[in-house]
Amino acid sequence: MRGSITIIAAFLWGLGCSAQAADNAAKAQDAPAGGKIYTVVDGNKVDGLTLKGWRTWRAMACERCHGANQEGMVGPSLVDSLKVLTKEQFKTTVLQGRIDKGMPNFSGSQQVVENIDNLYAYLKGRSDGAIKPGRVESMEK
């Protein structure tokens, strides 16, 4: 009986490792090359992870406060803010919010939590001037 349990446990552990490896391979395929946080071609074609960041931006309707071009409205310009904020400061602001300034926290949003690095990559690309305002698409097209 104990041997059967050990074999089953080993099998389940192996399945978990296989699933993790497949997930890591999929992420690597979407990731920018050369350790960059984003890759952009022609101003609007981006790597898969940066595209997920843009989709998160759209899904959360961030443009209601930060403007369609991330240049500010009720909320500050993210094009300007990401020139001075570190990645950690950005993540803290988005996930914990700045309630006193009207910025809600997004730690309860699974999409934001799972894509916070991708969202940062998209907005950093906008701030750097590499990604043009408006709709982006996959470089794979």
Give dist(CA 52, CA 102) in Å, integer: 25
Give dist(CA 123, CA 117) in Å, integer: 10
Res 50: pLDDT: 97
Each residue's pLDDT tens digit in the chain (141 positions)? 555 555 544 444 454 544 454 444 444 456 666 678 999 999 999 999 999 999 999 999 999 999 999 999 999 999 999 999 999 999 999 999 999 999 999 999 999 999 999 999 999 999 999 999 999 999 986
Query: CA–CA distance from 52 to each of 22, 90, 132, 137 (Å)?
Result: 18, 17, 16, 10
Res 35: pLDDT: 74
Give dist(CA 87, CA 55) in Å, integer: 19
- Which pTM does this prediction carry? 0.78
Give dist(CA 74, CA 106) in Å, integer: 18
Res 19: pLDDT: 47
Q: Token pair 């960041």 is at which residue? A: 53
Query: CA–CA distance from 28 to each of 4, 49, 54 (Å)?
Result: 36, 9, 18
